[in-house]
Amino acid sequence: MSVSLAKGQKVNLSKEKAGLNSVMVGLGWDEAKRKGGLFKKPEPIDCDASAVMCQKGGKFKAKDDLVYFGKLKHKSGSVKHMGDNLTGQGDGDDEQIMISLAEVPPEYERIVFVVNIFEAKVRNQHFGMIENAFIRIVDTSSGTELCRFNLSEQYSGKTAMICGELNRLNGEWHFTAVGEGTNDNSITELLKKELKWK
């Protein structure tokens, strides 16, 4: 049975599912209904999910450690992005990231899942225009959902979101529901400001 998490809560995935080797991280969202202008339909909101692999001390150290629509696979092969969804239309996951926990190299102890709105500033878009956002963790061997976090806060004005993170502690994997909105205008800005990338 899936654990429903509130902001800030953690779950020990290794205890929830003994022998857990790989998970799918599903992220989903819907565009809230908007009125079009007199002459043109509003542009669709293009949300992009990324996995940020952080080394000991929680730091993001190298550009190679970002897995996103422009680089779908980590050099270790342990993290794979399944591709970009440009509109967020349809039910279920909009973007999926596969994590082979057993293959994540030992120097990485944290994988942060973020979503940012492509060209948010230019298009005058923000997360207040998004609804039904969630992040969920699924055991890939059985297809069982282990936990889910619905991002139900009001994120008006925010252009990026730190949704949740996987942490490795004493050989066990934990998931934390984060749900922090930020005003970063690109994934690069988010990495520098929130994850202290020099």
Q: What is the pLDDT of residue 39?
A: 55
In this predicted model, what pLDDT tens digit does every residue of 119-177 receive, in sequence order?
899 999 999 999 999 999 999 999 999 999 999 888 999 999 999 999 999 999 999 99
Binned at pLDDT 50, 70 and 90, residue 43 comes out as confident
Q: What is the structure's pLDDT at 38?
A: 56
Closest to 61 (Cα-Cα) out of 113, 103, 110, 117: 110
Mean pLDDT of 47-54: 95
List pLDDT tens digits, range 113-134. 999 999 899 999 999 999 999 9
pLDDT of residue 93: 92
> pLDDT tens digits, residue range 88-114?
455 689 999 999 999 999 999 999 999
Whole-angstrom distance, CA of residue 83 vs CA of residue 94:
9
Q: Which of 31, 4, 7 is nearest to 131 (CA)?
A: 31
- What residues form DSSP beta bridges with 164? 113, 177
Our measurement of the distance from residue 92's CA atom to the centroid of its chain's CA atoms, rounded to an integer in Å, reads 15
Mean pLDDT over 62-68 rounds to 94
Q: How confident is the model at residue 59 (pLDDT cuts 50, 70, 90)?
A: confident
Confidence band for 194, pLDDT divided at 50, 70 and 90: confident
- Strand blocks (E) in 37-121: 47-55, 66-67, 79-81, 95-100, 108-117
Q: Give the pLDDT score at 58.
A: 78
- Domains assigned to the chain: 3-34+42-194 (2.60.60.30)
Q: pLDDT at residue 77 above 80?
A: yes
The pLDDT score that the predictor gives to residue 90 is 55
Lay out the sheet containing 108-117: strands in order across: 10-12, 172-182, 160-169, 108-117, 47-55, 66-67
**Overall average pLDDT of the 52-59 stretch:** 88
Is 184 strand, coil or helix? coil
Mean pLDDT of the chain: 90
